[in-house]
Amino acid sequence: GAVVSQHPSWVICKSGTSVKIECRSLDFQATTMFWYRQFPKQSLMLMATSNEGSKATYEQGVEKDKFLINHASLTLSTLTVTSAHPEDSSFYICSARGLDGGSYNEQFFGPGTRLTVL
C-alpha cells in the first residue's frame, strides 16, 4: 500500500507555545487528508477533513482557530496546534486518500504524532 509519513513522531512543548505537525503522502497524490485525535484506550476522533487548495472542514466541537490545518499541496498537510495547553496532549493521526480511478479510493494512515504539553 501507499505510504503516509508524519513528522515529528513525538513532541514535547511548553504550555502556550504552538506546535506544527506535518503529514506527507510519499508515493501518491492525496486529494483529501484527514486529521484524527486519539486519547489513550479510545477510538479515533475525526477533527477535520481537508482538500488540496481548499479550507479544511472541521468537525463539530473542534476549534478551528486552535487547530489550524493547511493542505497546500497534493502531498503535504500540516496541523498546527496554537497556544497549546496540557489538555491538548494526545496522539494525532493523519490519513490521506488519493484518487485511484474507482469509487473506493483507499485511505492510508500515518504513524501518528504524540504531543505532550507541559
Binding site residues, other proteins, CB under 8 A:
1, 31-32, 34, 38, 41-44, 46, 49, 91, 93, 95, 97, 99, 103-107, 109, 111-112
Least distance between other proteins and beta carbon 16 (Å): 27
Beta carbon nearer to other proteins, 79 or 93? 93
Minimum CB distance to other proteins smaller for 52 or for 82: 52
Kindly tell me which of 18 and 39 has the beta carbon lying closer to other proteins.
39
CA distances from 43 to 4, 37, 98 (A): 20, 9, 24
Alpha carbon 18 to its chain's center: 15
How far is the C-alpha of 13 from the C-alpha of 90, rounded, in Å? 12
Phi, psi at residue 87, to the nearest 5°?
-70, -10
